[in-house]
């Protein structure tokens, strides 16, 4: 029997590299700051309504999420290489489009629709092939490492964007990013390969190497079957709240920091990115040890307290803003490793790409609603206080839900039809056996 070469780490590192390019989304607050300064100065470059400032970012989050449904199914059926390459092309072309126009419509089309779809196609293909090469006990860790690249990207994109914008301008900076990311993502896509059919990764134990078996209770659900379970809707709501809260802060953190840090506001974006990436890896590893739901409940609770604390932090306090932003980024990042791991644990690997695409729509809708709502509240009240209170309350509700979270097989509502069907089948077999026995007695 030919031994199969384990390509798990090469796939994982390729996925990490791809996400390092895709993470340009988290540098939005740097781009937004440049556009806002142009609007307020009246220089005529960006004639946008200030209430629409977050619209390209919000549309990008929404398109990103919904494109993952199709992209996830495509990579399940064909190959992660194909979907990643499509994603790299769309991401690059979207950035090139906005380099040619300063209009809000062009930015919504280029950054919101094209780059958003590109992010969805490439992101959907990075994690599934990586976790398929590893045993269940490493799911959280591997998912965390792959998606860490997306969060960590702002560490270099934020200062690089700040440098390019000051050296050239926002439009030419977008052109540079577009060409670079198109080439990088398309090159790394060639390393994304699924294990061969029937491959079972080895689980290393203290005594011996043995083939790992799926944990008890895991069933491979199709997308249709998954949508019939209460567990899907619980996961969806918790993801909606956890992601929306984080994206709301990330989308405006540079503006928040500008008053106290001036031109060094990009440092807050970079440190938030470090926290974002760290949260993905650490939460993934922690959830492998203590369980996904417990880890999620802890992180949502901490996020609620941090966002509520922003009510009492002055915009002149650089140290406190940096501290809060870093830990908000950390807690936000945990969602991006916990929810793919929960999706795999609950609904299996066979249709993981498509299933996680459906779960991930919560991220997109949260990213669309929360920043947009916050911007509207600011325009109306002149303060973010109401947005902070509302967001913290929803996070605490999500934490309570996480404490009582259950797998689909543990949901009585889901099991009842199966139990009735099995009971009916048992009664039918009993009836047939009784008839056969009676027939034998008559013959005798």
The pLDDT score that the predictor gives to residue 353 is 82
The one-character DSSP state at 194 is: P
- Tokens at 220, concatenated: 């491979």
- Cα–Cα distance, 54 to 41 (Å, whole number): 18
Q: How does DSSP assign 150-192, residue by residue?
A: HHHTHHHHHHHHHHHHHHS-HHHHHHHHHHHHHHHHHHHGGG-
Q: What is the DSSP letter of 229?
A: S
Beta strands in 307-398 (DSSP E): none
What pLDDT, on a 0 to 100 scale, did the predictor assign at position 294?
93
* Both tokens assigned to 132: 């398929």
Cβ(134)–Cβ(201) under 8 Å?
Answer: yes
Tokens encoding 319? 């140290």
The domains located in the chain, with CATH, are 8-195+215-403 (1.20.1250.20)
- pLDDT given for residue 443 in this prediction: 42
| 315 vs 103: CA distance, rounded Å | 30
Residue 206 burial (10 A CB sphere; 0-12, 13-18, 19+):
exposed
The confidence score (pLDDT) of residue 416 equals: 41
Cβ-contact 146, 16 below 8 angstroms: yes
Measured CA to CA, the distance from residue 288 to residue 344 in angstroms comes to 13
Q: How far apart are CA 148 and CA 298, in angstroms?
A: 20
Residue-by-residue DSSP string for 254-308: HHHHHHHHGGGGHHHHHHHHHHHHHHHHHHHHHHHHH-HHHHHHHHHHHHHHHHH
What is the DSSP-derived secondary structure letter of residue 350? T
Tokens of 101: 């126009």
Q: How far apart are CA 421 and CA 270, in angstroms?
A: 55
- In the chain, count of helices (H) and strands (E)? 18, 2
Helices 292-309, 266-290: axis angle to 10 degrees equals 150
Q: Name the token pair of 41.
A: 């100065």
Strand partners, 211: 202
- CA 75 vs. chain centroid, Å, equals 17
In the block, residue with structure tokens 């799911």: 139
Which pLDDT value is given to residue 87? 94
pLDDT in tens, the chain (444 residues): 456 777 889 999 999 999 998 888 877 878 888 898 888 888 888 988 887 888 898 889 889 888 988 888 888 788 899 999 999 999 999 999 999 999 999 999 999 999 999 999 998 888 888 988 888 888 888 888 998 888 788 788 878 888 999 898 999 999 999 999 999 999 999 999 988 877 777 766 544 444 444 555 567 888 899 999 999 999 999 999 999 988 888 766 666 666 667 767 777 777 877 888 888 889 988 998 999 999 999 999 999 999 998 888 876 777 787 788 888 889 998 998 899 989 988 998 888 888 988 998 998 888 888 877 887 887 788 788 888 898 999 999 999 999 888 888 766 544 444 434 444 455 455 444 444 444 444 344
Instruction: Give the Cα separation of 228 and 344 in Å (integer).
Output: 16
Which pTM value belongs to this model? 0.72
Which residues does 31 contact at the CB level (< 8 Å), separation at least 6? 161, 170
Q: Are 265 and 32 a contacting pair, CB within 8 Å? A: no
Per-residue pLDDT at 99: 94
């Amino acid at each position: 029997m030919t031994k199969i070469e384990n390509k798990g780490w090469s796939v994982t590192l390729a996925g990490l590299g791809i996400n390092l390019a895709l993470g340009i989304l988290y540098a939005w607050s740097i781009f937004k700051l440049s556009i806002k300064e142009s609007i307020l100065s009246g220089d005529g470059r960006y004639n946008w309504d200030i209430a629409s400032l977050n619209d390209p970012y919000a549309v990008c989050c929404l398109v990103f999420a919904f494109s993952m449904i199709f992209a996830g199914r495509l990579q399940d059926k064909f190959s992660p290489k194909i979907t990643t390459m499509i994603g790299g092309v769309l991401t690059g072309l979207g950035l090139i489009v906005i380099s040619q126009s300063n209009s809000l419509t062009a930015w919504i089309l280029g950054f919101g629709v094209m780059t958003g779809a590109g992010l969805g196609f490439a992101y959907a293909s990075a994690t599934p092939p990586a976790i398929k090469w590893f045993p269940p006990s490493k799911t959280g860790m591997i998912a965390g490492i792959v998606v860490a690249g997306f969060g960590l990207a702002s560490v270099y994109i934020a200062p690089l964007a700040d440098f390019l914008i000051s050296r050239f301008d926002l439009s030419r900076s977008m052109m540079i990013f577009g060409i670079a990311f198109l080439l990088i993502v398309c090159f790394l896509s060639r390393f994304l390969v699924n294990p061969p059919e029937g491959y079972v990764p080895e689980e290393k134990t203290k005594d011996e190497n043995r083939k790992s078996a799926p944990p008890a209770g895991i069933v491979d659900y199709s997308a249709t079957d998954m949508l019939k379970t209460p567990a899907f809707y619980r996961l969806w709501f918790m993801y909606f709240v956890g992601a929306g809260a984080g994206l709301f802060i990330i989308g405006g953190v540079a503006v928040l920091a500008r008053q106290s840090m001036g031109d060094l506001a990009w440092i807050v974006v970079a440190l938030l990115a470090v926290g974002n990436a760290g949260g993905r890896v650490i939460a993934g590893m922690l959830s492998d040890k203590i369980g996904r739901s417990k880890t999620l409940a802890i992180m949502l609770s901490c996020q609620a307290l941090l966002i509520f604390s922003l009510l009492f932090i002055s915009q002149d306090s650089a140290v406190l803003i940096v501290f809060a932003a870093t830990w908000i980024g950390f807690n936000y990042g945990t969602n991006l490793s916990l929810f793919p791991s929960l999706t795999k644990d609950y609904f299996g690997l066979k249709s993981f790409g498509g299933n996680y695409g459906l779960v991930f729509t919560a991220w997109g809708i949260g990213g669309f609603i929360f920043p947009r709502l916050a911007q509207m509240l600011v325009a109306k009240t002149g303060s973010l206080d109401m947005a902070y209170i509302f967001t913290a309350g929803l996070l605490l509700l999500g934490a309570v839900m996480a404490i009582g979270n259950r797998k689909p097989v543990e949901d009585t509502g889901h099991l009842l039809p199966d139990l009735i069907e099995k009971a009916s089948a048992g009664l039918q077999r009993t009836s047939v056996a009784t008839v056969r026995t009676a027939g034998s007695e008559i013959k005798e």
